[in-house]
Amino acid sequence: MKKRILGASVMVLAAVVLFPLFLTGEGYRERHLESHIPTAPAVADAIDVTPQTQLLPDTSEYPAAQVATELVVSESKSSQKVVVTVQPKPDQEMPPQKKRPVISVDNSRPLLDEQNVPVAWTLQLASFSDESNARALRTLLIGAGHKVYTRRNADLYKVYVGPDMQRDRLEKLKETLKSDFGLDGIIFRFTTQ
């Protein structure tokens, strides 16, 4: 037992002497590399550029109507030149200018989804297992003036009309196609896949 106490005291003494050597706080040291970053270049003076734009003429109204003119032709006997003088009739008045017609019949804006992507709609008219039937219907509808496309989905070839940003226009088109071609379609949200 004396040897055990002596051994334990030697271990404690060694720990008291050696631990301060290991626990000095010097541990891991970062390597400090010298940096060779050049100085920033001098900032150039700002140049003020003013745009040289001219306003375009107003095209919201039709140009002035041309007044019918009377031509007076006089020929000089000494030369072969023909002089044409245009004289407007004094009793004619200029007709009032009209506004251009509005191109869009419907001023409603397209709806946006959660990702601010416009919502478009398409009308699925038919599904065929035979691609030639889908092509024939597509050709028939294109001949009637409709925007038509086909897509292959698994073993089916689907024929679509559209897309259109307004669902109500497709609903009217659906009724027209039902009466003209006997096709009752389904309106889906348009996707590019």
- Asked whether residue 21 carries a pLDDT value surpassing 50, the answer given is yes
pLDDT of residue 159: 92
For 134-163, what is each residue's pLDDT tens digit? 999 899 888 888 889 999 988 899 999 988
For 89-137, what is each residue's pLDDT tens digit? 555 555 555 544 444 455 566 677 778 778 888 999 989 999 889 999 8
pLDDT of residue 68: 47
Strand order in the sheet with 121-128: 148-153, 156-164, 121-128, 186-189
Tell me the C-alpha distance between 59 and 55, whole Å: 12
Encoding tokens for residue 64? 């002035």
Q: Quick count: other Cβ atoms within 10 Å of Cβ 148?
A: 20
Which band of pLDDT confidence, cut at 50, 70 and 90, is reported for residue 10? Answer: very high
pLDDT of residue 103: 45
pLDDT of residue 183: 85
Beta-carbon contacts of residue 62 (< 8 Å; ≥ 6 apart): 97, 98, 100
pLDDT of residue 102: 45
Q: Phi and psi (nearest 5°) for 144? A: -85, 0
Question: How large is the average pLDDT for residues 60-65?
Answer: 59
For 25-49, what is each residue's pLDDT tens digit? 666 666 777 778 888 888 888 888 8
